[in-house]
Amino acid sequence: MSALRWGCGAAGLGRALVPAGRRRLLAEEGAGALDGIWGRRRSSSASPCERDRRKDWGHAELLEVLEARVRQLQGESVSEVTVKRVDMAQIPEGSGSSFQLSRKAEAGAALELRGRWAEKLDKEKRIMQKRKQRLEVKLQAHSQKPPREQQPRPLRVEPRLKNGQLAGCLQRWARGSPASPWEEQLAQVLQEAPQKLSCEEVQAPADRGAEAQLSGQRQKLLAFFECCLLTDHLPLAHHVLVTQHGNFRRRWLLTLAMYNTVMLGWARKGSFKELVYVFFMVKDAGLAPDLLSYAAALQCMGRLDQDASTIKRCLEQMARDRLQVQKLFLAVPMSEEERAALLTAVRKVKPAFSPPPRPTPRVNTSPLLKDIYAQGGPVSYPKLHLPLKTLEDLFQQQLRVELATTVQVKSVEKAPPLTSEVLHARETLRSLRDQWEAALCHELQEIKAELARRAREGRPTLYPHLCLLSEQETAQMLLQVLQVLPPQGESLIQLAYQLGTRAFNRHVVQRKQREHQVPALQRRYSEYLRLLACDTQVDPPRLPRQHWESLGGPGGEPPPEQPWPLPVLVRLGKQLAEVLVRAVRMPRSPGAPAGAEQLIPVLYHVYSFRSFRQIGILKPHPAFSQLLATAAEPTLTFEAAEVPMLCPPLPWTSPHSGAFLLSPAKLMRAVEGTIQHQERLEHCPPAALHGALDALTQLGNCAWRVNGRVLDLVLELFHARGCTRLGVPPPASEAPRPPSRRPAPGTPPARLAELRREAARCLKAARELRSLRADALYRLSLAQHLRHHGAFWLPHNMDFRGRTYPCPPHLSHLGSDLARALLEFAQGRPLGPRGLDWLKLHVVNLTGLKKRESLQARLAFADQVLDEVLDSADRPMTGRKWWMAADEPWQTLACCMEIARAVRSPDPTTFVSHFPVHQDGSCNGLQHYAALGRDSAGAASVNLTPSDLPQDVYSGVAAQVEVFRRQDAEQGVRVAQVLEGFVSRKVVKQTVMTVVYGVTRYGGRLQIEKRLHELQDFPQEFVWEASHYLVRQVFNSLQEMFSATRAIQHWLTESARLISHMGSAVEWVTPLGIPVIQPYHRTAKFQITGGIQSMTFNNNSDSSQRPNTLKQKNGFPPNFIHSLDSSHMMLTALHCYRKGLTFVSVHDCFWTHAADVPVMNQVCREQFVRLHSQPILRDLSRFLVKRFCSAPRSQNFSKNIQMRKLFQTLLALPETGTFDLEQVKQSTYFFS
C-alpha cells in the first residue's frame, strides 16, 4: 500500500539540526514519504531500562550527525545547509571520557570543512546574519511604536454579487421596508435561472497536478465549513463564504456542497435572512439548488412556522427542477428533529402528506447466496456461550472504554527495582507533565486566537478544528504522543497524520455523545444481544445484520460522520505538533530546583537526508529520553480501536456502520487519502453488499480467549533476553554495537569504508530489533491484560480486493506463529469420535515433517511420537524439546498441550476443546487459476483431483526444471552443468508460489539468487548466471505445466494494459458483489507550507490522476485472484455459520473446532465448486466491455483505435480445458 509515502523514524546517517521552537531556515521537505500507515505506534509510558553506560549515547549522536552531514555534503557538493547550536543537557558524572572523544570528533569534523562547499557555507552564514540584523532592527522599531487597540474585523453577512440583476434585486430588498418579506425574496431567487460563468471563471486547471491541488483546496474549504457548524461558529463560516464568493478569482473554488453546508447551518438556527443570502450566492455562482438546498430551506420555514404560500412556491420550483418531495425524506441524511421540521413545512401545503415508508430491505439475489437468504429451511445459527446478563455487563465495559478513547495496560516489561533514583524520576515526570499540560493549554488558546483572527480576514483556517476538543483534552493527547516518541525521533509528516487522526476519532465519539446517540445505542444493543445470548431466543432466526436492521427506528441510521480529507488531517496534526514543540520545555538538569536553570526544548526539529530527499523529524532531547528510561513507568496507553473488544462488535450494515460501538471504523481499509473505494461502496446497491457485510460480521462474532500456559512460557523467554529462533526478540541491549574507537590516523580508505558499512549494519540491526521488541511488548502486554477476561472479540474489515483482516493491529490470529499460539476459541466444543484424530493430524501438519504423506500415514506418525508430544506438553523448557524443531513451534506446543489434556481425560470424546484446527489450501492461487481454465494437468498438480497422496506442485516444477537442465547440460551449456545436484524444491518454491501473484522474471531471479546464496556448496561466482538460467526454466516449466493459467494471466495483463492506456483504472465486481478498483495512479503532490517546515507528500492513489500503467497491468492478475479467494472464504464462512460452526480464516487457511473439521471441509469444497461453476471470466469480460467500451465514438482517432483493440481483446477469452469441477468434492488434499 504505497500511495502515500511517510518518512519513518530517523534513518539516515546525515542530519542537520534546527533548534525547536524557531522558524526554519531550510523549510522545504523535499518529498515526504507517506507510504503506508498500517503499522501504528503505541502510546506508552513504559520504556526499556537503559544502563548507565548508555546515558550519553543521545548526546554523542547529536554531534555524530553533524559529522555525517559534513561527509555527505563533501560527497554531494550540497551548497546550502544551516546548522545551529543545540542546547545540551549536563553530562552525568563519570561520562567525561566519552564526551572528550565526542568533542575531539567535533573538532576533527571542523578541520574537514575545506573546499568550495565550505566557502558557500560561510557565505550563507554571512547572509543569514545580515538578515537577522535587519529583522532585529525592524522588531526594535516596531516595539517602540505605541500599542494600538486592534478591533476585531466585523463579520460580513450580505454577499457581493457579480450578476447585476441579482445584486440590484438584493440591494432593493435589503434596504427596503420591513414589509419586504425575505420569504418573497427566496421565492423570487429560486425562480432565477443559474447564471452562466465567464470563460475565465470556468477554466479548468492546466494539468492533473493542478487539478489535484485544486481538489485539496476545496477539501480544506468544505472541512472548514463543516467544522464551523459542529463548533457553533456559523457566522464565521458565513463570513468566509461571503468573502470567498466576493473574490471573483477564488469563487471557482466554491462548490454547491459548501453553500449547502452553510445553508443547513442557518436552517437549523431558523435564520431565514442569512439562508436567503446563501441562495443568492448559489444563483450568482451559476449553480442549481439540489435536494439538500431545498431541504435546508423547507426545514428553516418549518421551524419558523412560515405561511403556506411561500412554502408552496418553493415546492412548485422543486417540481420545475424535476426534484421530488418524497426523495427529500429518502435521499437526504437528516436527524429526527430535522425530519420533523421538514415534515411540518410540507404539511402546511399538503396536510395529508406522509413521508414515504422506509423501503423494504432488498434481498441479495446472487445465485451464490440464494441458500443463505432463502426464507424458511433448516438453520442452526450458533449462539454464544454467555448469558444475556453477562453480555450486557461486557457491553457496559466496552462502552466505558470507547468513551474514554484510550486504554491503560500494564506493561510486561521487567520492572526495575524501586530505587530512590527511579522514584525521583517518576515524581519529576509527574511534575513536568502538570507544567506541560498548563503550558500546552495556554499555547492552544493563543494559537486559536491567532487562527480566529485570520479567519475573520476571510481565510479558512484550522480554528474550528481546534475547537472540536477542549484545550485540556488536546493537551493530554499531545502528552501521550510525546511519551512514546522513540529516541531516534519520528517523521514530522507521520506524526502529523497520527495526531490529526486521533483528534478526529475523539471528535467522532464526543459528537455521538452530544447528539444523544449513546442511550439509543444502549437500548438497541440490549435487544440485539437476545439473538446471541445462550439463554434467550429470537423468532424467527435471523442473521445478526438482519436482526440489527429490524431494531432500527423509523428514521433509519443517523447521518454518518464523513472522514476529514488527508490534507486537512495532516495540516491539523502539523499544527498540533508545532504547539507541542513550542510549549514543552524542561530544565537542562532535571534534578535542579525549579527556576534555577534555563529551560530547554524537549523536542528538536531535525532533518534526515535520504538519497535526494530531505525528511523532517521531531526528536526528543537526550535528557528527556534518559529521564523516561530511568523512570521506567509500568503502563502502556492504547487507543480504544487498537484493543480487542470486550463485547460482540456491531454488525456491519453499510460501508460506514459497524464494528466498534462509538469509534469510527472503515469497511474497506485503503491507502490514506483514497476515496475512490468508499465512493464505489456508497453507490453500490445495499443488497449487493450483504454477502460481504454478513461474512465480516460472522468473523467478528467469534469469541476468543488467551492461552495462558503458552503466554507464561513466552513471558519467561521475553524476560530472559528472548529467543530469536522461537520468535521472541531480545532486548535492545543485545543489539550489535559498532566499534567504539575511532579509526587511527592513516587508516586506508577501503578499511574506512568497511567500518562505515559495519556501523550502518549495526544501526539498522538495532532499529529493527527495537521495532520487533516493541511489537512483542504490545502483543504480550495486551494478552496479559486480557488473559482473565472470559472472552473478547476481534471486529473485521476488508481491503479493496475483499480480503478480510482483524481491526485491532497488535493481538489477533492474523500474525506470526507466536501471535496465533496465544489465542484459542473462548467457546469450546466436545471432541466427539474424530476430534482427537484431527488434533493429532494438526500437530503433525504444524511440524512440517510429513507434508507428502497421506492422512493415514500422518496419523500413524502422530501415534509414534505421542511420547514426544506429551513430554513437550509436560516439560516444554526442560524436557526433550521436540516441539522446538517444528516449522511452527509455538502452535505445535499449544497443540501438544491440548492433546495431552484430551488423552488424559476420562473420555476423550467428551473432552471440551478450545483449540482451533487449520485446513490450508494447496497453492490456493494456482487452484483458482486451474479451476478458471478447467486445466486438468494443472488441477492434478494442486490437488483439485482425488489422489492417494498429496501432490506437491513445487516438487513437480523442480522435476521439470531438472529435465530441462539435463538436456542443456548434455548440449554443453556451462551453467546447466554447474547446477547439477542443486535444483531442489526449496530453490524454486518461492518463485512458483509468487508467480500466481504476479512476480516478474526480475523478482523471481532475486528470489532464486537468495536461495543459491544459502547453499554453501554452490560456487558463488555462478550465482548471477545460474539465477538467470533457473528463473527462465521455472517460467518455461510453469508454461508447460499450467498452460491455461499462463493464458489467463496474459489475458488479464493485456486487458489491464489497454484499459490504463485509455486513462482509466481497472475495476471489476467480485462474484459476491464487492466493487473493486485498483488504487494505482501517477503521483500527485500536495504541499503544506509554513510552520517549522514545509511538507510535500505524494499521493498516487487519487483517482483524478492518470493510472500507473505498469502497476495496473502487473497488479490485475494477482488482485483478481485475491478477490476470488476472498469470495470463496466468505461463502464458506456464511454456510458454516448457517450450520452452527465456529469459523475464522487467515485468507486461504480456514479454522474451526476439531470436531467440526469434516463439516467445514465439505462446505469448503462445495462452495469452491459453486463459485467456479459461475461464468466468472465471461462475466468479467461483459463488465469490462460495458464499463470501458460503451462510450460514444470520440473525435480522437487514436482513442477510437485503442477502444477497438480493447474491445477485441476483452472478447477473446482464453480457451478452457475439460476438467470436471465435481472432482474437487472428492479431493482429500484440496484443503488439508
Contact assessment for residue 471 and residue 449, using Cβ atoms and an 8 Å cutoff:
no
What is d(CA 1130, CA 1123) in angstroms, rounded to the nearest whole number?
A: 11
The residue from 799, 1125, 1148, 1156 that is catalytic is 1148
Residue with cell 473420555: 907
Eight-state DSSP code of residue 253:
G
What is d(CA 280, CA 259) in angstroms, rounded to the nearest whole number?
A: 10
The residue from 348, 989, 1111, 1113 that is catalytic is 989
Listed in sequence order, the residues at least 6 apart from 296 whose beta carbon sits closer than 8 Å to its beta carbon are 260, 263, 264, 266, 267, 275
Radius of gyration of the chain (CA): 33
The per-residue b/e assignment along 557-567, b for 16 or more CB within 10 angstroms, e otherwise, is: ebeeeebbbbb
The residue from 35, 920, 1085, 1225 that is catalytic is 920
Eight-state DSSP code of residue 1231:
B
Contact assessment for residue 134 and residue 95, using Cβ atoms and an 8 Å cutoff:
no
Listed in sequence order, the residues at least 6 apart from 585 whose beta carbon sits closer than 8 Å to its beta carbon are 439, 599, 600, 601, 602
User: In 3D, which of 201, 186, 171 has the Cα closest to residue 286?
Assistant: 201
Residue 837 is among the residues annotated as catalytic for this protein: no
The dihedral formed by the CA atoms of 297, 302, 308 and 310, expressed in degrees to the nearest 10: -20
Contact assessment for residue 53 and residue 491, using Cβ atoms and an 8 Å cutoff:
no
Contact assessment for residue 617 and residue 20, using Cβ atoms and an 8 Å cutoff:
no
Contact assessment for residue 932 and residue 1176, using Cβ atoms and an 8 Å cutoff:
yes
What is d(CA 164, CA 275) in angstroms, rounded to the nearest whole number?
A: 20
Residue with cell 523529524: 617
What is d(CA 842, CA 849) in angstroms, rounded to the nearest whole number?
A: 12
Q: Could you tell me if residue 721 is left (phi over 0), alpha (psi between -120 and 50 degrees) or otherwise beta?
A: left
Contact assessment for residue 1037 and residue 1181, using Cβ atoms and an 8 Å cutoff:
no
Amino acid identity at 702: C
Residue 1148 is among the residues annotated as catalytic for this protein: yes
Residue 920 is among the residues annotated as catalytic for this protein: yes
What is d(CA 285, CA 264) in angstroms, rounded to the nearest whole number?
A: 18
- N-terminal to C-terminal alpha carbon distance within the chain: 31
Hey, what's the cell of 697?
460480521
Amino acid identity at 849: L
Bridge partners for 1145 per DSSP = 1150
Cβ neighbours around 108 below 10 Å, total: 13
Hey, what's the cell of 152?
476585531
User: In 3D, which of 471, 469, 470, 464 has the Cα closest to residue 436?
Assistant: 471
Query: What are the distances in angstroms from CA 680 to CA 350, 563, 1075?
Result: 37, 16, 6
Contact assessment for residue 1129 and residue 807, using Cβ atoms and an 8 Å cutoff:
no
What is d(CA 1068, CA 1061) in angstroms, rounded to the nearest whole number?
A: 17
- Helical ranges in 285-387 per DSSP H: 291-304, 308-320, 325-331, 336-349
What is d(CA 1230, CA 405) in angstroms, rounded to the nearest whole number?
A: 45
Say whether 213 sits in a helix, a strand or coil: helix
Eight-state DSSP code of residue 646:
S
- The sheet that has 823-825: what strands, in order across it? 792-793, 703-706, 823-825
- The sheet that has 406-410: what strands, in order across it? 43-44, 635-639, 406-410
Amino acid identity at 143: S
Contact assessment for residue 1082 and residue 1065, using Cβ atoms and an 8 Å cutoff:
no
Active-site residue numbers? 920, 989, 1148
